[in-house]
Structure formats: structure tokens, C-alpha cells
Amino acid sequence: VLSVVVTWLAQAGAGRMCWERQVSPADHPDVNVQFYANSLRSAPDNTLVSEIHERYTHDMLEQSHGYIQWLFPLYEGGGMNPYSQALTKEGAKVIREDVDMSARVLQSYRLMLNFYGCKLVNEHTGEVGREDNYVERYAEHNYPFNHNWLRISRIIVSLGHLGFGRYKRPLLDHLRREVDEGVLGAARESLETFWSPLVLEEDTPRYMMKTREEGPQDRGESVFFRNVETHGRSR
């Protein structure tokens, strides 16, 4: 009996030490994990991710330049926002494997699609279509040298980092259709020069240099899709 008790205590102690070594998302060293855990406010806007989802209007999304680096972090760094930080490989994996954080990533994507006049038609496949407001929204964006085209490049890469890589090609396909039809004709250079290589040239030397990905393991799939496939949720 004594040996059984000793064994149980040893196992319990090992389990406790293992538990104590775990870091909650709110305390993770990657600030992007803390942000998507809804425990850290972005800078310089001082907003939680949930507040961005709930409060940001199209005008706010257009005029603010501090949120996009937080909603769609990259391995390569924060870009034009000196207050944001590069996404770490470990941080990306934590976000991909967390149901709540993955749901927030999806909400961020829906928010930006609506900003551009698009919508997610199917959560499982990533199919993208026109939003009801697309005429108005396309008119806002369809001009040369629009800084919002740069945001699309960031979104495409970050989707891969954060576990939604299967959404990259459907987004590209939708944008290509709209460019070819002329309703987003001003985006053709961005489409051919930037967006297409980020989708069609994965794991090439140029792609890896740009994205800092070292292979498919750096854009593993989100736990979100396991839930979709298990519960059949698709809309």
C-alpha cells in the first residue's frame, strides 16, 4: 500500500509541476497571444480585440492605422505600427490550437471582408462572395495606390500563420473575379504583383523570405476546422 501511495504522490507531483509550467494565454510572452486572448489592449488605439469587433465602423477601419497589425500579426513584424510586435512561431501555434482565439481570428476576418464589401460564404471552404454593401464599398476602394490593398497582403499572409490558410485561395479567387470584371480594376497590379504570389508560390524561396515561414508547419491548420468537421457547422 505504501508503495502505491508513494507512486501516486510522485505522479501527482509530476502532474502539478507540469501544470505549473503551463502559461495561460493571458500571460504568454507573445503579446499577440495576449491580444487574441482578449486580455491585452492594442497600442496605440488602446482597444481589446472584442472592442474592435464590436465598435469599429468602416470610417474607423479606414482612418485608424494601428489596429491591422494586431488583428493580423506577421512573423516578419509589425510594419508601420511601432507599438506592435512580430508574431512568434510558438505564439501562432498557441492561437491556432485555442478555440476561443481562433474564433476571434475568424471574426477579425469577417470584419475586414465587410470593410472591403465582401463576405465569407462558407466557413469550411473559405468561399468569399459579395456583401450586400459591395457597390458602395468597392467604390470606396477602387482607385490606384490605395493603402488598403497593402492590408490585403497582410491579411493573406496572417491567415496562413494563424491557421486559416485554406481561406487564402478562395479570397484570391474572389478578388481576381472582381478585378477581371472591372469592378475592382484598380487592384490589378496588387493582385498580380503581391496577392497572387502569396497564395500560389507557397514554400518557394521568395515566399519564405517574405513571410518568414520555413515550411507548411508554420501555417498549420486551426482547431476551428476540427470543430467544423465534427459538428458540421458551415455557413
Q: What pLDDT score does 2 carry?
A: 39
From residue 111, alpha-carbon distances to 3, 35, 138, 146, 195 in Å are 59, 17, 15, 19, 19
- Give 180's contacts (C-beta < 8 A, 6+ positions apart): none
CA dihedral sign, ordered 98, 26, 217, 153: positive
Report mean pLDDT in 10-residue bins for the chain, 235 residues: 38 39 79 98 97 98 96 90 96 98 98 98 98 97 93 98 98 98 97 98 96 96 86 57
Q: What pLDDT score does 77 carry?
A: 85
Cell of 167: 481561406
pTM of the entire predicted model:
0.88
Nearest to 109 by CA among 126, 134, 91: 126
Q: Any alpha helices (H) in the chain, and if so which ranges? A: 2-21, 31-36, 49-55, 58-63, 68-71, 89-96, 99-116, 134-141, 147-161, 168-181, 188-190, 196-200, 205-211, 223-231
Q: What pLDDT score does 6 carry?
A: 33
Q: Which long-range contacts (CB under 8 A, 24 or more apart) does 166-172 make?
A: 166/125, 166/126, 166/221, 166/225, 167/109, 167/120, 167/126, 168/126, 168/198, 168/199, 169/126, 169/199, 170/125, 170/126, 170/127, 170/128, 171/126, 171/128, 171/199, 172/196, 172/199, 172/200
- Phi and psi torsions of 2, nearest 5°: -60, -45
Q: What pLDDT score does 233 carry?
A: 56
Cα separation of 188 and 177, whole Å? 11
Question: b/e map of 131-162 (b: 16 or more CB within 10 Å)?
Answer: bebbeebbeebbeeebebbebbbbbbbbbbbb
Q: What pLDDT score does 11 carry?
A: 44
Q: What pLDDT score does 14 carry?
A: 41
